[in-house]
Chain A
């Protein structure tokens, strides 16, 4: 009866995804689907659940961003995750925003590469996040509502 939640793992291919995969054990037993940004990582993720590839985007290419946004709308509206767990970056941030609109809980783990301040995506998500983890203890003093329990890498 427990574990009937559906969980979305969202992360850009590369460093963001490799950090997320190191903590993906937390989804064991749940129904999982993955949203990422490159076909090159699709096969490696197939054992976890359905994999959706939305392509890369960032704030410097607004048109591409809109395309990815539409892609994310379709995925999130169809899948209706209960929880989204993400390490960034922009495409995953879009998924979190859309998921939140549809009632999903948001877990954000800001990437270890953000040493002095949390990422732009993280700053957007922070007020909406239900659990916000950082990987540097110093960041806990700078931002309200963030937690540090250790670094992933």
Chain B
């Protein structure tokens, strides 16, 4: 199963429709579970709900063989924490999908680091969906404790 999650706050019909089109063309064989937020496009080839509660969302995320989503930090972080291959397409300001284009730079950076696959727009999705089948994300090295310690040291001095 592929879990499609496009975030909330603004519609992201471009991605929902593009994935539906790939199903139509027979390029995706796996079943798809979708959380489409405020998107209004009604897919013909899979079930889509506006919003899953947290436990249902987590369950789908964990059961999925791969994630397709927007390039939101929440989705990226969750995919990395669960070692799930993620294909991310950034939301764009020019289509009213987000307030600024930070998702583009973020996705380019994370793809360069091997953490995800990036489709800059719908035209790149077919190739990337194919690559997603064998993609193994590189784990991300984070160090929240170092940040915590640095702030603690600062607070001790104040």
Please report A residues at the B interface, Cβ cutoff 8 Å. 5, 7, 14-15, 18, 22-23, 25-27, 30, 58, 60, 82-83, 85, 105, 107, 109, 111-116, 130-131, 133, 136, 147, 149-153
The answer to whether A60 and B99 have CB atoms under 8 Å apart is yes
Q: Report the nearest B residue to A135, measured CB to CB.
A: B147
CB within 8 A of A30: which of B108, B140, B155? B155
Binary CB contact string for chain B from 64 to 86 against chain A (1 if under 8 A, 0 otherwise): 00000000111001000000000
Q: Which of B99, B144, B158 contacts A150 (CB 8 A)?
A: B144
Complex CA gap A58/B100 in Å reads 11
B151 at the A interface (CB under 8 A): yes
User: B residues within 8 A CB of A115?
Assistant: 102, 105-106, 108-109
Which chain B residue has the least Cβ–Cβ distance from A136? B109
A23 and B147 in contact, given A15-B74, A18-B74, A151-B142 (Cβ under 8 angstroms): yes
CB <8 Å contact, B155 and A23? no
The complex places the Cα of A25 from the Cα of B149 at a distance, in Å, of 9
Q: Within the complex, which residue of A113, A116, A147, A149 is in contact with B73, where a contact is CB–CB below 8 Å?
A: A113
Pick the contact of B102 from A26, A114, A131 — CB < 8 Å?
A114
* Residues in A neighbouring B140, C-beta threshold 8 A: 151
Enumerate 26 A-B pairs (CB-CB under 8 Å) in ascending A order: A15-B74, A22-B144, A26-B151, A26-B152, A58-B99, A60-B99, A82-B158, A107-B154, A109-B147, A111-B73, A112-B73, A113-B103, A115-B108, A130-B154, A131-B150, A131-B151, A131-B154, A133-B147, A149-B143, A149-B149, A150-B147, A151-B140, A151-B141, A151-B142, A151-B144, A153-B73
